[in-house]
Amino acid sequence: MTEHNNVQTLNQFIIQRQADYPNASGELSRLLHHIGIASKIVNRAVNKAGLVDVLGAHGDQNVQGEDQQKLDVFADTHFINALRASGECAAIASEENEDIIIFDDAMGRNAKYVFCMDPLDGSSNIDVNVSIGTIFSIYQRVSKKGELPTKEDFLQEGTKQVAAGYVIYGSSTMLVYTTGNGVNGFTLDPSIGEFCLSHPNIKTPKNGSIYSINEGNYINLPAGVKKYIKYCQEKDPKTNRPYTSRYIGSLVADFHRNLLKGGIFIYPNTSANSNGKLRLLYECNPIAFIAEQAGGKATNGVERILKIKPDSIHQRVPFYTGSSAMVKKAEDFLDFFNNI
């Protein structure tokens, strides 16, 4: 990648895009720059995970009742530090913390944005060297600058996001983000330590041949989802079926593959989790924003994810996202079986 003189780094791209908005004053650009810095720190730890003491359980549980891994806590800490250093973030909602984290200093009180994140998605895969990621979402605060931010700053519909993205730590490390003007992907070039534009203006296929769902939960799935899975497995050359089943168990990794190749990711409600398991604010909303900006679709099976008004920072919702035609077909099955 470094052999080409026309490679555009993440920072160059951010500055160039800032010029596209005459009223932009640089705060979001600085915030995105610091997200890139934190991603590189976490990437370094992920790559050395087997050599240093960041593998295994931390010994505590997060607010979700999930066992925290050491790398969960490491990622959470370094993203918080980077966001504090940016001076552009007033508060953070993180999967790893029950309450919002408020930056109670002059910079924090006067910052324009609040930040939602899952600092290390798919952390149960850490010890077995499977792709994991970071998911983030940025909102403009609704509370007055100069005052302390509140939870109301976070309880906004996904349509109010000013930026969202994810980092996937895999065979290569990529940062994919949108500010509402298309989706762009940047691959970390370790030889220069920079994210470089590698996937400009990502568009997901309208249809695909991959479905991603934990079929181990089959017995507990809604009838419409069961029927949709059977539809995916049926042979029909006209619609390129049967589809291929691919499930990693890391939202970032499963979504990233389907974004590029075409497919659907499904994490529905089950008899054990009536509201689903994924969190609206810092998992579903940012991924939905990216999906829609790439030409895809994201719903809870009934309504558009980005139109749901959150009622708590850790709210869970069912999640269907990916190629628009596939998500629409899944919705059709759900609608039919919900009304018989």
Binding-site entries for substrate: 121-124, 214, 247, 277
**What is the DSSP annotation of 15-47?**
HHHHTT-TT--SHHHHHHHHHHHHHHHHHHHHH
Q: What kind and span of H or E run contains 287?
A: helix 285-293
**Distance in angstroms (rounded) separating the CA atoms of residues 237 and 64:** 43
Exposed, middle or buried by CB within 10 Å (0-12, 13-18, 19+), for 64? Answer: middle
Total residues found in the chain within this entry: 340
- Residue list for the binding site for Mg(2+): 95, 118, 120-121, 283
Q: Which residues are annotated binding-site positions?
A: 95, 118, 120-124, 214, 247, 277, 283
Tokens of 12: 């160059």
CB distance 158 to 289 below 8 Å? yes
Query: Rounded CA gap, 55 and 35, in Å?
Result: 23
Q: What is the DSSP string of 174-187?
A: EEEEESSS-EEEEE
In the numeric block, which tokens belong to residue 263?
């497919």
Of the candidates 98, 102, 106, the one whose C-alpha atom is nearest the C-alpha of residue 90 is: 102
Residue by residue, DSSP assigns 85-121 as HHS-EEEEEETT-SS-EE--SHHHHH--EEEEEEEEE
Per-residue CA distances from 131 to 120, 123, 234, 302 (Å): 11, 9, 30, 30
